[in-house]
Structure 1
Amino acid sequence: MDKSVVISAGKKLDISNSIVHEDFSEYPNLLMLAEGVAVFNDKMELLPLISDFLTHYRQNHSDKSVQTYANNLRYLVEYLTTHDENHIDSSRDNCLLTVHVNEIQRYFSYCKSDKDKNGKIKQAISGKTIANRDATYGKFFNEFLCNPPSGYKLIRSENPYENGKLAVHAKNTLIKPALFSDIEALILVANYEREKCLIQFMYDTGVRRQEVEDVEQGSIAQLSRSSRKSIIEDDGTIKIPSEYHAMEIKGNKGRGREAKYRETVVSKVTINRVQRYHSSIEYKRHKRKWVGSSLPAFLNADGNPYTASAVSKLIKKLSDRALKLGLIKTIISPHKIRHGFGAMLLNSDDFGKSQLDRLLLLQQCLGHGSLETTQVYTKIPVGVWEKFVDRKTGVELKRHELMKKLKDRTKAKKGRSN
């Protein structure tokens, strides 16, 4: 990890080689950093405001997210103390106590430019990256510096983000989900049922690639024995039709030591397909090595679980095959498959009477903290929905009917069950 960002897991932080504030009265929470996050500038001076913020932020977020936020804030401080005449003499991260709206906006303009203040060529920063930094600064000012949580003193009342985002954004890029035909192509070119099952399961549950490894065989088996459950969202109950299961997913978007769980909806057809895969000779042979420990639902040819990297490699391999055969037009990624799940569920009228009902359910299934994040699925082009209509009858297919169609048309050849 970058030496400018130190994340301590409850151990005393050795800062003997850094230049640290001798007067802690200005930052009363600074001593807490021994068991939190410490961020340094290029002079190895501790940045106390940023460090305090990230120590608090880390309580509910992953270390990877902390690292990103730390860098984003460091970039702003570095710019202000080296480029902005109002803050060049500012020490450490004190500039964050007085920076104004127009100064932050000038920083964003600088980021977009391909020239520095001296006219020399530099790398322009993408709009997506700028938007990410803008979101970081908004959270820092809105939820910490100008509206401190319990235990922190208010040290800045004027909020540069009180009226919203400061970066001028381009139009949001539309989500490009994997279509039913894309998923069918990937499964058709897969040689083994274990690969086919995994692709259909990802498409029918919306799991992230890094979550596959934590799906257990016992969970799959238990679903067929359990009674029908409902998804709970915002103190309301969204009923799950009888053709589906509510399945618990062990998420990993929180702090590394604290898994976050959520429920998603999966069709019984897909669960039955995975169960049949579990009955194969190869799967039974591999599971012997897992006696006494949790058995993963998906095992590769060597009997090992599919890691995030292995999932990506598998989908890349299948995409390359499908492209070569002309079955798909672009490479399919794990996240496109997740987007495909979102598009499919939002268009399934058996999950709620209105789009809002389905949107709330989709938020729960994808594990989004904000409904605003989920709402991007409402902007998917209308043409995508044509893939959910039976071409022969013109009748719109339910999601479980699509999964049955997918299973029936992509069965593994005899002898290729592994």
Structure 2
Amino acid sequence: MTVVAVRGKFLDLGESMLNEDGEMGGVKGVVTVTGAGVFDENERLLPLISSFLSEKLDTKKFALQTALTYGRNLGYCQDFLNGRRELSAWESDEKFLHVGQPILRAYVSQMQSLELGSKTVRNRDASIQSFISRFLCITRDDRPAFRADDPYASGLISPAPKSTLVKSCSLPDLRVLIESTSLERERCLLQFIFDSGVRRSEVPRVMRASIDEALRLGQAVSSADPRTIDTPSNYCLLHINGSKGGGDQIKERLSIVSPATLERIKRYHASAIYKRHSRKFPKDQAPAFLNAHGHPYTPNSISALLSRVSKRAIRNLKLAKPISPHKLRHGYAYALLNSKDLGNDLLERQVMLQKALGHSKPSTTEMYTRVPANLLNAICGTNQDAESKAMEMENLSIDTRLAIDARAKK
């Protein structure tokens, strides 16, 4: 199963295969394409699923990554339906027009027998419900719905997922990761992700100018700004161009970052290697982090970095399991909630955290408070001599900072 999704992509029709057939008259021109296609193992388009995803992208109800996830989830179900004899009379994804609740229950049971996580099962079930209930069973433009009955009329079929503790990167884990690379630019990046709570997709949009501004202004932000967070003067507020939301729109927010982390990044920016690579970018558009070739990091390259240093730490018996970029974001959440100089109580810190992480709903942030307070220190691995996130980051910077050779090539 292959899933493709694009938004606003330029397509040159002059390259179309239709131009190879003289009787068709050919096509030409450049068009802008937004849509999705899901193809089976024989490279045949699944038209209903593709139309559903394309409509969601076109109306900006789905971000690109959401469309890809839904496409894969529906593709998994399609594979299951292809093996059901009761549906053998129908081709391709027409099977979704006739599948009933008993078969969908069998699909949920199969996923559970494969020991998929309860959240994974629930997410796949929700994808199918959205496709059937909000696309196949909906009338549009005076045209009848694709199907009249809705097997999800009574709600989702899968049981509610189990509530589990968020698995995060602790401060000791972060130190191990940092010490598993000999490159200061990678150490800066790892500390920054942990101390700012950014998603891996947001890192390429963090500019050097934003780092400079955060250090220069500190808490000097407009009180009229709804994003403003009331924090102590020993922290900086960093502007983040977020990436959550339908239609891939940018959602701005302010993140609470320790000055020591930003100062460490500034020293990296003062290195000859960074200055040489950053000259090719327009003024105020130089990314804060550049890879070995002088290019901005991509989400995939950040995941590759975490994978590489995690494996190195595991080989050295310093880590038990790999650490993903999002676990660093979770680590930021626990570090902020456990920082005694932020807010008067846990509720105040939870409000700060909601704004800093860019959560639109308090319930999303509440997942970090399910752990009892007396276990929070153990989870965060907090040094008892350092009672704040800012002090922890300062100690980490001092202990792990490396000099950057002026002759370094990468």
Q: Same fold (TM over 0.5)?
A: yes
> Percent of aligned pairs with the same residue?
35
1:284 to 2:275 alignment: yes
Give the match's secondary structure for 2:202: helix
Shift of 1:334: 2.1
**CA deviation profile, 1:238-268 (whole Å, cap 9, x unmatched):** 4233222332323445678754444322122
Give the match's secondary structure for 1:297: coil
Structure 1, 354-363 or 37-46: larger mean CA deviation: 37-46
Shift of 1:180: 0.7
Aligned equivalent of 2:110: 110
Shift of 1:51: 4.0
Change (3 A) 1:361 1:126: same
Aligned equivalent of 2:398: 408
Name the CA distance, whole Å, in 1 between partners of 2:308 and 2:102. Answer: 48
* RMSD over aligned Cα atoms: 4.3
1:319 to 2:310 alignment: yes
* Preserved contact between residue 231 and residue 246 of structure 1 (Cα < 8 Å): no
Change (3 A) 1:341 1:137: same
Shift of 1:144: 4.7
Give the match's secondary structure for 2:279: helix
Give the match's secondary structure for 1:246: strand
Shift of 1:131: 2.7
Change (3 A) 1:232 1:112: farther
What are the residue-to-residue correspondences of 1:5-404 with 2, within 5 Å? Answer: 9=8, 36-37=35-36, 44=44, 47-48=47-48, 50-58=49-57, 59-76=60-77, 79-80=80-81, 83=84, 85=86, 88-89=88-89, 96=96, 99-113=99-113, 124=114, 126-127=116-117, 129-141=120-132, 143-144=134-135, 155=145, 160-161=151-152, 163-168=154-159, 171-226=162-217, 227-229=219-221, 238-252=229-243, 258-290=249-281, 294-348=285-339, 350-352=341-343, 355=346, 357-368=348-359, 371-380=362-371, 383-386=375-378, 387=380, 389-392=382-385, 397-404=387-394
Shift of 1:158: 6.1
* Preserved contact between residue 38 and residue 51 of structure 1 (Cα < 8 Å): yes
Shift of 1:340: 1.0
Shift of 1:221: 0.8
Change (3 A) 1:417 1:260: farther
**CA deviation profile, 1:223-252 (whole Å, cap 9, x unmatched):** 22335348999x896423322233232344
Shift of 1:282: 3.5
In the superposition, the TM-score normalised over structure 2's length comes to 0.73
Name the CA distance, whole Å, in 2 between partners of 1:129 and 1:217. Answer: 38
**CA deviation profile, 1:187-210 (whole Å, cap 9, x unmatched):** 334434322221111110122334
* Preserved contact between residue 273 and residue 406 of structure 2 (Cα < 8 Å): no
The count of residues paired between Structure 1 and Structure 2 equals 383
Contiguous gaps of at least 5 residues in structure 1: 17-33, 114-123
Name the CA distance, whole Å, in 2 between partners of 1:265 and 1:151. Answer: 48
Name the CA distance, whole Å, in 2 between partners of 1:270 and 1:334. Answer: 17
Name the CA distance, whole Å, in 1 between partners of 2:361 and 2:384. Answer: 36
* Preserved contact between residue 280 and residue 417 of structure 1 (Cα < 8 Å): no
* Preserved contact between residue 231 and residue 240 of structure 1 (Cα < 8 Å): no
**CA deviation profile, 1:166-224 (whole Å, cap 9, x unmatched):** 21366345322111111122233443432222111111012233432322111111122
Name the CA distance, whole Å, in 2 between partners of 1:65 and 1:256. Answer: 10
Name the CA distance, whole Å, in 1 between partners of 2:356 and 2:227. Answer: 15
Aligned equivalent of 1:31: none
Give the match's secondary structure for 1:209: coil
Structure 1, 39-48 or 236-245: larger mean CA deviation: 39-48
Residue 302 of structure 2 aligns with an amino acid whose one-letter code is: V
